Chain A
Amino acid sequence: MSRVLVAMSGGVDSSVAAALLVEAGHEVVGVTMKTFCYGEVPGHGKTCCGLDGIADAQRVAAALGIPHFVFDVEEEFTRDVIDDFVSEYGQGRTPNPCVRCNSNTKFRDLMARGRALGCDRIASGHYVRIEHRRGESALLRGRDERKDQAYFLWGLPPQLLPSLLFPLGDLTKPEVRSRARALRLTTADKPESQEICFVPTGDYRDLLERRLGPVHPALEPGLLVDRQGNVLGRHSGYAGFTVGQRKGLGGGFPEAMFVLEIRPESRDVVVGTREETLSNYVEVGHLNWLAQPPPDGSSVHVQLRHRARPVPATMAVTGDTLGLTLQTRTAAVTPGQSAVVFDGERVLGGGLIAAARSQAASA
């Protein structure tokens, strides 16, 4: 068996992933990435990536009898993930930092460290499957529909796929927890971490104020307008909004209103009815393919949000942009979020949503 590096956050999932690899007879090396300065974050230690997470990962590694190392990637993480998160909100988009981290930081850095440590495989506790056959590696959804994390992994560098292992891909979360309990891992009953690891409170405005400075346009008051340009109200900074959002718009409208668009140049937040949030054409940039891209005109399924049901779509690539014509009109397609292209269970690739609109059915 080969030497495998497993990324251990200190949570239950990566703990069990490590345990399964040990059971399978691999020589396993545990690694925890120290991603940011925990001292700056109020309530730190509560999420899986906090210093408590490092200590938990160390205890699990000791229980499994495997070596464990902490690698400080704070500089890279800040540059590649936190700075991007802040800059995206500054430009009126809604970023997904977990996608960014998986694409740019986590696996790339793990692979480099892994090679240094003589590991030929990299494993993590993500709920996805990978099939290596006939010289091709296919990334597939996890068996547990409720935990599936394929949406977050479209940005993996494709050349890394042959080296990846996802030991939890065929398990459900309850199965993972019962494995952890059976192994008496200290992390067996740790709560889920739902929030973004570097915003453990869920309130990212503090972080934006610290990093953008208090006088950035994204944090300045602006107008709530409708598609016709009528002023409907005021807001206290467009960074607080995401397309499709209903909360925080104030009341007094004849029907429920939603954010349709954020216009950083004028600081306007455009709002409208539910009907107006629907779109059937999506432009996707920053493309990354994990399989041979299907030819133009192919029918695929595209997932436009975490946990959203995939929508049938027809694709066409023009230069660096993927155009997706959706079969059904879809609510709140949000710039900055990921559009992930599937063939059934398999991730073909994806990109970041640049724009969405509604257009005539024949287009």
Chain B
Amino acid sequence: MSLIYLDHAATTPLREEVGAAMAPYLEGVFGNPSSQHRWGREAAEALASARARCAEQLGADPSETYFTRGGTESDNLAILGFVARLRGDGLTPTLVISAVEHHAVLDAARHVTAREAGRLVILPVAPDGSLDTAPLERALAEGPTLTSLMWVNNETGMVMPVPEVAARTSAAGATLHSDAVQAAGKVPIRMDEVAVDLLTLAGHKIYGPKGTGLLYVRGGTHLSPLLHGGGQERSLRPGTEDVAGAVGFATALELAVTERTVEAPRLQALREALEGHLIGSVPGLRIHGEKAPRAPHITSVGIPDLDGQALRAALDLEGIATSGGSACSSGGSSTSHVIAALYGEDDSHAVVRFSVGRSTTEEDIVRAATVTAATVARIRAAGGA
């Protein structure tokens, strides 16, 4: 049985070039970048170089580029750090987020409101990807805000209107955060072109190491740190730096951004082929966000009146990796808040997310579509499960 990994939105394997770039810092070069000797200087230079390479890929300044230990950490630092800063000034912000944000944003925002440190406004999103910005306009008019709008939705691949919202928030002098974890290497992201103030990236979604991330913080935007310690990362994220991780992250980001113009159209063709096969062979199948602008690598489908957990497990037994939307720590998952936001709470479609990547071939797509259609038919014949 050939194994087909179609869950690149959950995570990706480390690229050979990334592993090679990291190797010297895992095996030989071990200095602490804060140390005032040759070992330290060597590590510090590697870190500074990695930071500069990331900044260049983002159209940012190295001083705006902070290494973190992952996407969740960057999201939390952006939201909780911004709120803490405002609270220090005696202000209570309104958090404005879309209904389809990742849990790292949604739950951080709920954490703030549960402690009455801020209000929360959620912007509805339609299946065509359009965002209802009327509540944002009201919030901008009322007082201090932090808006958080993801660049590419992780469950459906929908591209959110970040540049349009950025134009509004910057005109109002307000702050905008964007979780761009799924966007890096898939759609253009330039901090010198779009007025986003805070931007989250994660290494393991772009063939980099797990446990690495980046938070872009535009000059003039102030955050309070969540951790306190040795002053690393300009005191915003103290703790001895992961030099190998930073080098790996920078290498992965460079490759992802520079290869995007070639790889993104290839991924999109694969995704479209998959969708075409599935629509033709699975009765009633719906593509989530079909009419919305979408990133090249993700397609989420809904299949009426079927148990999604059982379908995904059956596909796994056939050697095909998919997911229900987001990878959930406890394994099981109830209806995703994203699908509920788009299609209503009592939607009974089985949800399967396929996400293609560097290793995906046309043969994979044909087999995945064929097996999915056969599995759906078998489950239906066995009584719907």
Binding site for B on A (CB under 8 A): 29, 32, 34, 51, 54, 58, 67, 69-72, 74-75, 112-113, 115-118
With beta carbons under 8 angstroms apart, the residue of A29, A71, A112, A117 that contacts B332 is: A71
Contacts of B314 in A (CB 8 A): 116-118
CB pair B331–A116 under 8 Å, yes or no, is no
Q: Taking the complex as formed, is B383 at the interface, i.e. its CB lies under 8 A from any CB of chain A?
A: yes
CB pair A71–B310 under 8 Å, yes or no, is yes
CB pair B313–A69 under 8 Å, yes or no, is yes
Interface string of B194-224 (1 = CB under 8 A from A): 0000000000000000000000000000000
CB pair A69–B334 under 8 Å, yes or no, is no
Candidate in B307, B311, B330, B331 with the most chain A CB atoms within 10 angstroms? B331
Q: Taking the complex as formed, is B23 at the interface, i.e. its CB lies under 8 A from any CB of chain A?
A: no
Contacts of B331 in A (CB 8 A): 32, 34, 54, 58, 69-70, 72
CB pair B310–A112 under 8 Å, yes or no, is yes
With beta carbons under 8 angstroms apart, the residue of B309, B311, B317, B333 that contacts A29 is: B317
Contacts of B383 in A (CB 8 A): 112, 115
Among all A-B residue pairs, the 5 with the closest Cβ atoms: A72-B332, A70-B331, A116-B310, A115-B382, A116-B385
CB pair B317–A67 under 8 Å, yes or no, is yes
CB pair A51–B382 under 8 Å, yes or no, is no
CB of B229 to closest CB in A, whole Å: 31
Known: A115-B379, A115-B383. A71 touches B309 (CB 8 A): yes
CB of A326 to closest CB in B, whole Å: 41
CB pair A116–B307 under 8 Å, yes or no, is yes
CA distance A75 to B332 in the complex (A): 12
Contacts of B316 in A (CB 8 A): 67, 69
Interface string of B294-338 (1 = CB under 8 A from A): 000000000000010111011011000000000000111110000
CB pair B313–A116 under 8 Å, yes or no, is yes
Q: Taking the complex as formed, is B378 at the interface, i.e. its CB lies under 8 A from any CB of chain A?
A: yes
Closest residue of B by beta carbon distance from A70 = B331
CA distance A71 to B311 in the complex (A): 11
CB pair B382–A75 under 8 Å, yes or no, is no
CB pair B330–A117 under 8 Å, yes or no, is no
CB pair B317–A113 under 8 Å, yes or no, is no
CB pair B311–A116 under 8 Å, yes or no, is yes
Known: A67-B316, A69-B309. A116 touches B334 (CB 8 A): no
Known: A29-B317, A67-B317, A118-B314. A113 touches B332 (CB 8 A): no
CB pair B333–A72 under 8 Å, yes or no, is yes
Contacts of A58 in B (CB 8 A): 331
CB pair B317–A72 under 8 Å, yes or no, is no
CB pair A54–B310 under 8 Å, yes or no, is no
Pairs A–B under 8 Å by Cβ, sample size 6: A29-B317, A71-B310, A113-B307, A116-B310, A116-B385, A118-B314
Contacts of B313 in A (CB 8 A): 29, 67, 69, 71, 113, 116-117
CA distance A72 to B311 in the complex (A): 13
